[in-house]
Amino acid sequence: MKIEQPNLTKANHFDTANDVLLKPTGLNTGALQNVLGNIMSHQVDYADLYFQYSRSESWSLEEGQVKSGNFSIDQGVGVRAVSGEKTAFAYSDDINLPALQQAANATKSIAALGAEQTGKSQTGKNIVTRKATQLYLPQDPIASLSADAKVKLLERLEQFARKIDPRVTQVMASIAGEYEVVMVARSDGVMAADVRPLVRISVQVIAEHNGRREQGSSGGGGRFDYNYFSDEVLQNYAQRAVHQALVNLDARPAPAGSMTVVLGPGWPGILLHEAIGHGLEGDFNRKGSSAFANMIGKQVAAKGITIVDDGTLIDRRGSLSVDDEGNPTNRTVLIENGILRGYIQDSLNARLMGMAVTGNARRESYAHIPMPRMTNTYMMNGDKDPAEIIKSVKNGLYAANFGGGQVDITSGKFVFSAAEAYMIEDGKITYPVKGATLIGNGPDVLTRVSMIGNDMALDSGVGTCGKEGQSVPVGVGQPTLKIDGLTVGGTV
C-alpha cells in the first residue's frame, strides 16, 4: 500500500487531521456518522472510530559511525463497539469507505454474538468537533533537522561524553522522533483530533579502569522537535551518563537485608509508577485484581503522601491534549494525604464502575483497543529538606537512579534494580554500591514512607510503559523519599 506524504504545515489540529486522514480518500463527517449509525443499530452502547497517521524515525551512532537508521510510515483506522462489558474491535490499514464499512460490519457482527438485546436500536448522533487545550505545538520533529544535522547532533553528544573523562572508552548515542496525527469520531457525536510530536535522545557510555568495565546512561525528550537538544542539553545528558559509569567503577558490592532506603527525586518515581500506579488503573480495580480494589476513602498510604496523574503538563512525554477516546486529559488526584480518592479511568471502566472519566484512555496504535493507562504520574512535594532526610538515617541505602524492575499487579510485589546507589552511614552519603535490588510490596511501601522531601522533580522524558502488549510514552516523578524497613537484595 502506498501512503502519500501529507501537507504538514497547518497549525490547526482539526485541519491537519482532516487533510491527512479524511480528504485523501474522500471521507467526511457525514460518512463517519453513517458508519457509526450502522454499528449503533445493533443494540450496542457505544462505538468509535480511531484514525491514525504516524511517521517515525530512529538513528544510532556508535564509535563515531552511524550503525542504524530507520524510517517508517503507518496509517489506519480502528473500529470499536461496546456492549455492556463486551468490546468488539476490528481495524484496517486502509483508510477509505469500503475498508471502514468492512471493519464496522465485522465489529457489529462480533458484538451481536451473545448480546443481550435489552436496548432500542440507536443511530449515530450529529458529529460536533471538540476542541481541547493544546499542550504542545503541532510540529513535525522529523522535518525539523536534515539527516546530516541529526547525525552531527549525535556526533556532538558522543564528543561531549568522551571529553569528560579519559576512562570513557565507548559511547553509543541514539535519537528518535515521531509525528502522529489522530482523529476520533464517536457515536455520542463527539469528534476530536490531536497532532502529537515526540522526540527522545539517549546516550550510553562504557568506562574502563584497572580491568573493570561499567556503564552509565542518560537522555531525555518530550513533545517538541529536535531543536530542543541544544549543546547545553546534550552536555547535561553526557555528564549524567559518564557520572553514573564512573560511580559504578568505584562501587563496592551492595549489602543485603532490611534497612532504611532513601529514594532520590525524579526518575526513581518509576518505582511509584510500576508498584503503585498500575494498581490504581480502573480495569484492575473493576475486576477486583488490584490491591487497591474497594479502598476508595480509606487510608492506603502514610499521611503527607499525595499522588496525582496529570496528562496536562506542557510538552511532557506523557501528556496528551486529548486521550485516545477524544476526551481531554486531566490532573487526577489518586491519593490525597494518604487517602485513596480515585482511579485512572477510560470510558468503559468509568461507566461500569459508576465513576467519572479521567481522560486516561490510551492505545499504542489504531490496531489496539484503548484501556486506562497512566500519563505523567508523580508524588507531590513534602516539607523536608533532602539534606535533613539523609542526616536522619543512621545506616541505609540511597538509590539515586533505577534500572529495570518487575511488578505483580495483583499483589503489588516488586523487584527493582538500582543503577546508581550509595550507602548512608551516620547521616552521610559515603561510598557507592553495585548490585542493589529493592524488594517489597507497593501498597505496603506507601505506609512505610516516613519523610517526604521538598524537591519534587519529573524525569527527563524517557519513560515507556508496557501493559498487555501495548507500549505508550509516560512520565514519572517524585521528591526525595525516606522508606523505613525496605528489603534490599545485595551481593554480600
Each residue of 231-246: b (16+ CB within 10 Å) or e? eeebbebbebbbbbbb
**Which residues neighbour 461 within 8 Å (Cβ) at sequence distance 6 or greater?**
200, 219, 220, 221, 222, 316, 317, 475
Q: 20-33 pLDDT, tens per residue?
A: 999 998 999 999 99
- Please state the separation of Cα 346 from the chain's center in Å: 16
| pLDDT bracket for residue 243 (50, 70, 90) | very high
pLDDT of residue 133: 83
Looking at every residue in the chain, the average pLDDT score rounds to: 92
**C-beta of residue 52 within 8 angstroms of C-beta of residue 365:** yes
Listed residue (396, 335, 363, 398) closest to 472, CA to CA: 363
Each residue of 425-458: b (16+ CB within 10 Å) or e? eeeeeeebbbbbbbebbbbebbbbbbbbbebbbb
Q: What does the block give as the cell for 215?
A: 556503564
82, 181, 220, 213: CA torsion to nearest 10: 80
Euclidean distance between CA atoms 384 and 482, whole angstroms: 10
| pLDDT bracket for residue 113 (50, 70, 90) | low
pLDDT of residue 433: 97
- Please state the separation of Cα 221 from the chain's center in Å: 12
- Please state the separation of Cα 374 from the chain's center in Å: 6
**Which residues neighbour 263 within 8 Å (Cβ) at sequence distance 6 or greater?**
271, 399, 478, 480, 481, 483
DSSP state of 150: H
| pLDDT bracket for residue 281 (50, 70, 90) | very high
**Which residues neighbour 289 within 8 Å (Cβ) at sequence distance 6 or greater?**
409, 410
- Provide the percentage of residues in the chain whose pLDDT is more than 70: 94
Supply φ then ψ for residue 89, to 5 degrees. -145, 140
Euclidean distance between CA atoms 228 and 237, whole angstroms: 13
Helix intervals (H) in 122-184: 147-164
pLDDT of residue 125: 64
Q: What does the block give as the cell for 157?
A: 553528544
Residue of 412 and 110 predicted with greater confidence: 412
Q: Which helix (H) or strand (E) holds 190?
A: strand 190-209
* pLDDT exceeds 50 at position 439: yes
Q: CA 115, 113, 99, 193 torsion: positive or negative? A: positive
**C-beta of residue 422 within 8 angstroms of C-beta of residue 291:** no
Q: Which helix (H) or strand (E) holds 25?
A: none
Q: How many CB atoms lie within 10 A of CB 277?
A: 25
**Helix crossing, 147-164 with 231-249: angle to 10°?**
40
**C-beta of residue 381 within 8 angstroms of C-beta of residue 454:** yes
pLDDT of residue 124: 53
Euclidean distance between CA atoms 256 and 418, whole angstroms: 13
Q: 446-477 pLDDT, tens per residue?
A: 999 999 999 999 999 999 999 999 999 999 99
Q: What does the block give as the cell for 283?
A: 480495569
Euclidean distance between CA atoms 368 and 183, whole angstroms: 15
| pLDDT bracket for residue 131 (50, 70, 90) | confident
pLDDT of residue 11: 56
Euclidean distance between CA atoms 148 and 145, whole angstroms: 8
- Please state the separation of Cα 127 from the chain's center in Å: 30
Give the three-state DSSP class for 81: strand
Q: What does the block give as the cell for 392?
A: 536522619
Q: How many CB atoms lie within 10 A of CB 272?
A: 22
pLDDT of residue 10: 46
**Single pTM value for the model:** 0.93
Give the three-state DSSP class for 125: coil
Q: What does the block give as the cell for 66?
A: 552511524
* pLDDT exceeds 90 at position 60: yes
**Helix crossing, 29-40 with 97-112: angle to 10°?**
20
pLDDT of residue 200: 98
* pLDDT exceeds 60 at position 314: yes
pLDDT of residue 3: 38
